A and B are shown apart, each in its own frame.
Chain A
Amino acid sequence: MKRTTLTAVALLLAALVGGAGLAQAQAPIEDELVLQTPVSKFIVDAALKAFAQYAKEKWNVNLKTNALYAGTPVSYGRIVEWKGKPEVDIFWGGESALFDKLAEQKLLVKVEISKAAWDAIPASIGKPKPVPLKDPNGFWVGTALEPYGLVYHPRVLKRLGVAELKDWEDVLNPKLKGNVAQCAPTRSSSSHATYEVILQEKGDAKGWEWLQRLAANSGIFTARSRDVPSVVAKGEFAVGFAVPSYMAFEEKLAGFDIKFVAPKNAFVTPEPMGILAGAKHPKAARAFVEFLLTEQGQRVFMERGLFPITPKYKVQGPPGSTAELAVEFTGGVRSYFDAPVSNIYDDDIAQKRYKEVNEQYRKDIEAVLDDLKKKY
């Protein structure tokens, strides 16, 4: 009787001391992590799963993860509505300008990851207009490089007698009339950027005419940008405009015949990530950001049609691996730092006239769509 009590007390003490020791030595994280994100489930689920496994191995923490999925505007809107008492810990994806806006409203805290991880990420990519990959003030950091381009269904193209696409101009081919899918810039902030690329590249007058021709060639305006690669993969439409590489690759992995091309000056986003002020699990959030920038974390992206955010890593794997399939799918690119990236997209211009462009798109294209189809 006495011995059992003693043993129990000893065990209890040992557990307490051990537990405290562990806690001090390894700075454990909270056992929960929640994201708010417009990034697709395909990427987010994989990243969270890999991180949960990592947390289990490193800290023996059984991490509960969850993600609230919503388009960029809704995600952003929710964070603003939460007014500093967020239901989630991390905001991931969308335009870096929105992160700057959140930081201004004091709704973000600094990311504060290790200096080595931070410094491994170049400040920007692309010429003549550099795309920032991290916030000089430290409120957000890029996680992966994601180009937006065109997708197409090779068999449908063949049937229509159209060659495989290479350039933006190819989508205006009259043979593709009624066979192009797009999501209007008024409906998707991620596609919006590609419409801006066209406007900024061609200048206002020519740019708008180009977008009108594109609309006239379209067979469907989808409600969401994610639907564009879906309807092309299925073969419902031949070509999709303004699609990120990973969404198309997801369809490829699901067994569909679909191809991706990023023409010159294609929009590239670093998929920014920031930690919310007032987050309930700040340590887990910080650990997640750090994890994504490790090789293990970057591999999650590299195996899903995205590119590493740092020149340290390249997309590669054994022959037949998904990483190699991704390289083939995106036209042989292994890293965006290997060759000069051409970028003319100016986010400041885009953000400043965001509403005006949408308003004009509504007036000059959506409202008169039937007339445009007759005209072009």
Chain B
Amino acid sequence: MTPPDGRATVLVAPRPWAKALPALGVALIWAFLIVFLVYPLLRLFYDAFTDDAGRFTLLNFYEFFTDRFYLRSLWNSILLGVGTVVATSVLGVAIAFLLVRYDFWGRSVFSYLTLIPIISPPLVGVLGFTFIMGRAGTINVFLMDYLDMLTPINFVYGIHGVLLVETLHLFPMITLNVVDALGKVDPSLEEAAESVGARAWRKTWTITLPLTTPGYMAGALLVFIWTFADFATPLILGVHDLLASQAYLNVVQFVDRRLFRMGIVISALMVILAVLFLIAAKQYVAIKDYSSLAYSKVERRRLSPVKQILVVAALSFVMLLSFIPYIGVTLAAFGKGWSLTLVPLQYTLQYFERVIVETPKYILNSFLYSGIAVGLCILVGVPIAWMLARTRLPGNGALDALNTLILAIPGTAVGIAYIRAFHVEIPGLGVALTSVWIIMPLVLAVRRLPYTVRGSYASLLLVHTSMEEAAANVGATGFQTFRDITLPLIWKGVLVGGLFSFMTSLQEASATLFLSLGGWEMMTVGIFNFYIAGSANEAAALGFILIVVAALSLIVINRVAGTRMGGMFG
């Protein structure tokens, strides 16, 4: 049936190719996720459920659940997570309501400032906190030297300190999501409530809050998981009886193989718990989902001058508290020999000289790896978003679930899983992936993929398919349509997602800590190395640079995305 003349073949030939290409793309994306996400996690579970000889066993878990100390750690972790969710919710929801519903002096400045606590650099953020709030911190020095208090107040050492630090760090996650969700509440519903006589509180309680539940739950889940997985904060504050601390401390005990295996078991348990929380949250949202789709213009109520002053004062106070880490980090980055005085007495640039001039590798590696990671995120993430938004391919549900799952898996577990999974020689190459630097951007790309996917997905939903169909009608191929129609319309979302992936890659300090080898150190790894080596000042200098870079990224994101950032986490 083949036509004898060549031209006809030209017309026919591209078709199988054009059909095969998307299939190949889908296959590649799945291959990426299976190799770099599913396989390492399976390997982690394999280790958790076998003994040294590789036989299946439940003894590891039996040991965990019969150990008083581990059980207390589990209980404390859950309590701390719940406590942080409650505390961040009170703070975060209140601030979100103020920002969305009311107009007051400095509102837009505050809406940017409330984002800033999120970028607190790992480890040194807490350290900065102790420099100000610690037993010999500025506050206690002031109380003792100027107000004659006898013994310092213990603000930070202990689980209450962890709760305080996490709350001030993470409340923006709630704020962002609730702001986003509030923007979607149809005012007509609230008007309806008013028309049947509901007063302000009742209206908020029965109509507005339930409508923001999905957004809120997304934020709350992230706060919970973050707190659940954070090991650096509790360790600096001297709290060891938490799961994340135990996972970290045990895994770094290579000599004692039994402790090492318990570290793996605890990591696996954390993954299981995280997945359970994720499912529970999804179930809850599914039951409660009655949100409408449209973004609608909300009218802001202008507050009376007295109320304005109160609101601004309250917000400023919260901001001041949550900026404590930054103040502490900055003072430590420039101050020398700071002990028992309000602020350092001597100032120097020597720490910056050391981290910028002597060892620029920290900064170079950070940008290189995060840059490659974002490239990968876009390469893999935008097609995933497109598959989710535009196709009904089998496996899309699993794809969506995997993408959300990444957000829920503690970085420590990912790092440990990677060590276990990729410490074998790649056939034909003679090296293990763990001895090649590319593993760093790879793990970053996997961990930060969801942000790019979500950013792109949200934008794709806003582009009506009719535009793409129109292009297809005039003969554009799928790729042309994507390039000429879809991409120009969604680039903002991709950019925001990409930048968010970039910024959070720079900040990553759990998985990369386990995988970094000599010469690959990123800024966060440098922070840990300097801190561990006893040079808190150099760590602070790196932390300061990280804060500046992240703040700049946030400004760009904020400009491009406006208040829609909440969708990034949801």
Q: CB distance B337 to A256 under 8 Å?
A: yes
What is the bound-complex CA distance between A251 and B336, given in angstroms? 11
What is the bound-complex CA distance between A193 and B385, given in angstroms? 56
Across-interface contacts of B339 in A (CB, < 8 A): 153, 233-235, 256-257
Q: Does B5 contact A (CB under 8 A)?
A: no
Across-interface contacts of B346 in A (CB, < 8 A): 255
Q: Does B109 contact A (CB under 8 A)?
A: no
Q: Does A223 contact B (CB under 8 A)?
A: yes
Residues 516-558 of B at the A interface (beta carbon under 8 Å): 517-519, 529-530, 532-537
Across-interface contacts of A153 in B (CB, < 8 A): 339
Across-interface contacts of B277 in A (CB, < 8 A): none
Question: Could you say which of A67-75, A208-216, A259-267, A276-284 contacts chain B?
Answer: A67-75
Cβ distance A12 to chain B, nearest Cβ, rounded Å: 35
Cβ distance B255 to chain A, nearest Cβ, rounded Å: 4
Q: Does B372 contact A (CB under 8 A)?
A: no
Question: Could you say which of B233-241, B376-384, B463-471 contacts chain A?
Answer: B233-241
Q: Does B253 contact A (CB under 8 A)?
A: yes
Could you give, for residues 245-271 of chain A, a 1 whenever the CB lies within 8 Å of some chain B CB and a 0 otherwise?
A: 001001100111100000000000000
Q: CB distance B340 to A235 under 8 Å?
A: yes
Q: CB distance A41 to B529 under 8 Å?
A: yes
Across-interface contacts of B256 in A (CB, < 8 A): 73, 355, 358
Q: CB distance B254 to A230 under 8 Å?
A: no
Question: Could you say which of B31-39, B129-137, B304-312, B314-322 contacts chain A?
Answer: B129-137
Across-interface contacts of A87 in B (CB, < 8 A): 435, 517-518
What is the bound-complex CA distance between A40 and B245, given in angstroms? 23
Q: Does B157 contact A (CB under 8 A)?
A: yes
Q: Does A110 contact B (CB under 8 A)?
A: no
Using A71-B252, A236-B136, A255-B337 as known contacts, say yes or no to A223 and B236 having CB atoms under 8 A apart: yes
Q: B359's closest neighbor in chain A, by CB? A: A45
Cβ distance A125 to chain B, nearest Cβ, rounded Å: 26
Q: CB distance A229 to B534 under 8 Å?
A: yes
Q: Does B105 contact A (CB under 8 A)?
A: no
What is the bound-complex CA distance between A67 and B519, given in angstroms? 9
Using A68-B517, A74-B254, A366-B240 as known contacts, say yes or no to A226 and B136 having CB atoms under 8 A apart: no
Could you give, for residues 319-344 of chain B, a 1 whenever the CB lies within 8 Å of some chain A CB and a 0 otherwise?
A: 00000000000000000111110000
Q: Does B249 contact A (CB under 8 A)?
A: yes
Residues 369-420 of B at the A interface (beta carbon under 8 Å): none
Q: CB distance A42 to B252 under 8 Å?
A: no
Cβ distance A182 to chain B, nearest Cβ, rounded Å: 10
What is the bound-complex CA distance between A189 and B435, given in angstroms? 27
Q: CB distance B69 to A366 under 8 Å?
A: yes
Q: A368's closest neighbor in chain B, by CB? A: B68
Q: CB distance B253 to A34 under 8 Å?
A: no
Across-interface contacts of A81 in B (CB, < 8 A): 254, 423
Q: How large, as a class, is the contact surface on chain A?
A: 35 or more
Cβ distance A119 to chain B, nearest Cβ, rounded Å: 33
Cβ distance B328 to chain A, nearest Cβ, rounded Å: 11
Please tell me which one of the listed residues B136, B157, B254, B435 contacts residue A234 in the complex, with CB atoms under 8 A apart: B136
What is the bound-complex CA distance between A77 and B251, given in angstroms? 11
Q: CB distance B518 to A226 under 8 Å?
A: no
The majority secondary structure among interface residues of chain B is loop
Across-interface contacts of A68 in B (CB, < 8 A): 517-518
Cβ distance A146 to chain B, nearest Cβ, rounded Å: 15
Q: Does A224 contact B (CB under 8 A)?
A: yes
Across-interface contacts of A366 in B (CB, < 8 A): 69, 240
What is the bound-complex CA distance between A340 and B184, given in angstroms? 79
Q: CB distance A226 to B337 under 8 Å?
A: no
Across-interface contacts of A251 in B (CB, < 8 A): 534
Please tell me which one of the listed residues A66, A226, A234, A358 contacts residue B134 in the complex, with CB atoms under 8 A apart: A234
Q: Does A333 contact B (CB under 8 A)?
A: no
What is the bound-complex CA distance between A230 and B136, given in angstroms? 12
Max chain B CB contacts within 10 Å: which of A42, A67, A234?
Answer: A234
Q: CB distance B254 to A80 under 8 Å?
A: yes
Across-interface contacts of B68 in A (CB, < 8 A): 367
What is the bound-complex CA distance between A301 and B15, given in angstroms? 73
What is the bound-complex CA distance between A52 and B423, given in angstroms? 32
Across-interface contacts of B423 in A (CB, < 8 A): 81
Q: Does A155 contact B (CB under 8 A)?
A: yes
Which 10 residue pairs spanning A and B have beta carbons closest together? A77-B254, A255-B337, A235-B136, A41-B533, A223-B235, A220-B238, A73-B255, A235-B340, A235-B339, A66-B518
| Additional pairs, 14, CB under 8 Å, beyond known A71-B252, A72-B255, A78-B254 | A41-B533, A66-B518, A68-B518, A73-B256, A76-B254, A87-B518, A189-B255, A219-B135, A219-B238, A226-B534, A234-B338, A236-B135, A256-B337, A366-B69
Show 21 residue pairs from A and B whose CB-CB distance is below 8 angstroms, ordered by the A residue: A40-B533, A41-B530, A67-B518, A68-B517, A69-B533, A73-B256, A74-B254, A80-B254, A87-B435, A156-B136, A156-B340, A189-B255, A221-B240, A222-B235, A223-B236, A224-B532, A234-B131, A235-B135, A236-B136, A254-B336, A366-B69
| Interface residue ranges, B against A (CB under 8 Å) | 68-69, 72, 130-131, 134-136, 157, 235-236, 238, 240, 245, 249, 252-256, 260, 336-340, 346, 423, 435, 517-519, 529-530, 532-537
